Chains A and B, each alone.
Chain A
Amino acid sequence: MTALPAAARHRQARIPVSRQMLLVLILLAAALAAPFAVYPVFLMKGLCYGLFATAFDLLLGFAGLLSFGHAAFFGFAAYVTANAARQWGWPPELAIPCGVAAAAALGAAFGWLAIRRQGIYFAMITLALAQMMYFVAVEAPFTHGEDGIQGVPRGLLFGLFDLSNSRTMYYFVLAVFVLGLAFLHRVVHSPFGQVLKAIRDNEPRAVSLGYRVERYKLVAFVLSAGMAGLAGSVKALVFQLASLGDVHWHASGEVVLMTLLGGVGTLFGPTVGAFVVVTIQDVFAEAGSWVTIIQGAIFVICVLAFRRGIVGMAAPWLARRGIEA
């Protein structure tokens, strides 16, 4: 992550807000209408993974840290939320924050260890810690091993909205997703986000300017873990299930794929990538193990032909029209 992506460079320029707003409004309108045309559970899956990939991108795209263990936060939050909703009978507005808090706490512990190293060592430490989390998920009694926590009730949101209706659930997931994206946007454009980017581009320089680099990295790590946890918590309610697949290293790998495919360091890229991957999985479900081969081929093509990802490629074109991707 040495070279600054073109998308990020364009972001520095002042841009008129109106066209940006227009695009956001169009996307929002499309998202609101989508469940009438497309199967809602599929859309919700895409949004959950989109949020997960966005959380991952906060770390990779803006802090330059490649974590290979993000499934630990995603999956752990899913287990905690599922357990809170099923065993303790908590409503979604409490069960989800519970999962997020658990993921953020786990992120603080993992991050405290991992940020001491860089590059491949950082990736390996996060992978190792995530594998420990996977082992806990296999062995701990409350996760029910390979059966997972099943039959999680979606519950009544604020005692008003019955989430067992797929469309109601979709709008709830969409709201969470939009808030998550807005949060990321805010973080990235805050002074904190600027420092993160400075650290990504030249860490010794940031140190020499007097920034406590470790603290910034740790906060970014915890924020990313918490957001990944939010995605996992919501997914547990959507599928009414928390299982080993969520903590498996495959999930950590998939989120890397989604982010790279969509475009590192862009706002919408990870979500686009997530939808592409989820669509492939959906369309080729009957092909079985071929799904992974197809995913691999697409990944290779992406890396060879358009390294900045789908949105990353479109970003300069959009930026010329005053739109930040």
Chain B
Amino acid sequence: MLKRLFIAAAAVALSAGAAYAQPYSDGKVKIGVLTDLSGFYSDLSGKGSVEAAKMAVEDFGGKVNGIPIEVVAADHQNKPDIASAIARKWYDAEGVDAIVGLVNSGAGLAVRQVSREKGKIDINSGAGSTALTNAQCSRTGFHWAYDVYALAVGTGNAVVKEGGDTWYFLTADYAFGHDLEKQTAKVVIADGGKVLGEVAHPQNSSDFSSYLLQAQASKAKIIGLANAGGDTINAIKQAKEFGITQGGQKLAGLLVFISDVHALGLDTAQGMLLTTSYYWNRDEASRAFAKRFAARMGGRMPTMVQAGVYSSVLHYLKAVKAAKTDEGIKVADEMRAMPVHDFFAENGTVRPDGLMVHDMYLAEVKSPAESKGPWDYYKILRTIPGDQAFMPLADSTCPLVKK
């Protein structure tokens, strides 16, 4: 009897040990795409981000070291509490190993907290907040496509150099908008420009008339739009209706996606300067990805957020392959060790604070006459090298950066 008990105990101990040593949780690698699938960021992220993640998995072969890869998706509705609840459930109960996508800074930061606590990977390709790689950085957290700093440097510098040295800001009244305004104002002042004033408007506004009239009265050469998505679109449309752009004042969209330009039409958007980390019609590799993407998305070209999701998932899977496990910290270390080389980032590196540094592009929206076909919207004016585009590592307040 005692002997039988002993054997049973040994068997239990052995099987428990085996389960513990298993390098892949649940016997698969599970990637969760958590993004806005229904709200006002769904055009620039949404279903396209989910599709981009699936494409990356397919291109990788559907398996890593013989282990199947699965993609799941959910809608965070741009609410931090929903985002954090889904992330928690995914990590705790559904065996998700990494969360990607994450448009919207509030939702992104909420997921960052949960991921850090659980030691799981989160790769943000949609939010702009620099907090993700500063105060809120994490050993398993990454910031992939762009941040507010890079946008401010790209557009701010270029516009001031072209003589746009007096600015008035139209700012979305929430943390992201104020952050974008502050960063851009810093760049403008450093380049010798002047900020004449700013006006804050509520998020998701439909009527910009009073704000635009204030901007017009300021006589600033440049009206900086420190907002995003539908707000940017509405502001640009109404600026045209008020004759502001025809009156000689120029608009500088600080965060403009190609989906926004598509919604505006070239007639309205032409001549606008913007900074982007990806443009589909830039070179052979970016075109090849865009064509495949468009074939699956009803002809829509990928935004920098969607292209970023593809790039981040591919890099994650490479890291899992190298680490031979899906355990968060080990994969994160591999991700930092490996260079990023794909159509999205030709010479990207992942810094200790989790920021993926890559080249950004300054683009100008074409006039209807210049455009040769559907979605042919940008002229790339210049490439901003990664080390100039992003905040220097020495300035990062991330505790992981050794000084």
Contacts and interface: CB of A to CB of B under 8 A. Distances in A.
B38 interface: yes
B147 interface: no
Given A150-B110, A245-B81, A145 B37 contact: no
Contacts of B174: 138, 145-146
A139 B178 CA distance: 12
Contacts of A148: 80-81, 106, 110
B71 interface: no
A146 B203 contact: yes
B175 interface: yes
Contact of B88 (A41, A243, A287): A41
Interface in A284-308: 285-289
A150 B105 CA distance: 12
B113 interface: yes
A324 interface: no
A166 interface: yes
Interface string B72-100: 01110101111011101100110000000
B109 interface: yes
B390 interface: no
B89 A42 contact: yes
27 contacts: A39-B92, A41-B85, A41-B89, A41-B92, A138-B173, A139-B173, A145-B174, A146-B106, A146-B174, A146-B176, A147-B80, A148-B81, A150-B109, A239-B84, A239-B85, A240-B113, A241-B110, A241-B113, A243-B110, A245-B81, A245-B82, A282-B89, A288-B38, A288-B77, A289-B39, A289-B75, A289-B77
B51 to A, nearest CB: 15
Contacts of B79: 243-245
Interface of B: 37-39, 73-75, 77, 79-82, 84-86, 88-89, 92-93, 105-106, 109-110, 113, 129, 173-176, 202-203
A225 B37 CA distance: 34
A241 B80 contact: yes
A39 B93 contact: yes
Nearest to A281: B82
A151 B81 CA distance: 11
Contacts of A151: 113
Contacts of A145: 106, 174-175
Given A282-B89, A289-B38, 7 more contacts: A138-B173, A139-B173, A150-B110, A243-B81, A243-B106, A244-B80, A286-B75
Contacts of B38: 288-289
B81 to A, nearest CB: 5
Contacts, number: 82
A287 B203 CA distance: 24
A246 interface: yes
A70 interface: no
Nearest to A246: B81
A286 B73 contact: yes
Contacts of A139: 173
A286 B94 CA distance: 14
A45 B93 CA distance: 15
Contact of B113 (A45, A150, A245): A150
A11 interface: no
A151 B112 CA distance: 9
A82 B37 CA distance: 29
Given A42-B89, A150-B109, A144 B81 contact: no
A166 B109 contact: no
A147 B84 contact: no
Interface string A234-249: 0000011101111000
Interface string A134-148: 000011000011111
A138 B173 CA distance: 8
A151 B86 CA distance: 16
B175 A146 contact: yes
B86 A285 contact: yes
Interface string A93-127: 00000000000000000000000000000000000
A150 to B, nearest CB: 5
A241 B81 CA distance: 7
Given A241-B84, A243-B80, A245-B79, A144 B89 contact: no
A291 to B, nearest CB: 8
Contacts of B173: 138-139
Contact of A45 (B85, B109, B202): B85
A216 B271 CA distance: 65
B75 A245 contact: no
A235 to B, nearest CB: 9
Contacts of B129: 147
A155 to B, nearest CB: 14
B105 A147 contact: yes
A273 B81 CA distance: 20
A287 to B, nearest CB: 8
Nearest to A45: B85
Nearest to A42: B89
Contacts of B109: 147, 150
B86 A166 contact: no
A229 B82 CA distance: 20
Contacts of A138: 173-174, 202
Nearest to B202: A138
A285 B34 CA distance: 11
Contacts of B88: 41, 239
A244 B37 CA distance: 19
Contacts of B75: 285-289
A146 B174 CA distance: 6
A147 B81 CA distance: 10
Contacts of B176: 146
Contacts of A42: 89
A246 B79 CA distance: 10
Contacts of B106: 145-148, 243
B81 A239 contact: yes
Given A41-B85, A146-B106, A148-B110, A166 B80 contact: no
Given A45-B85, A147-B80, A246-B81, A285 B113 contact: no
Contacts of A241: 80-81, 84, 110, 113
Interface string A298-325: 0000000000000000000000000000
Contacts of A45: 85
B204 to A, nearest CB: 11
Nearest to B42: A288
A144 B86 CA distance: 21
Interface string A64-94: 0000000000000000000000000000000
Interface in A169-200: none
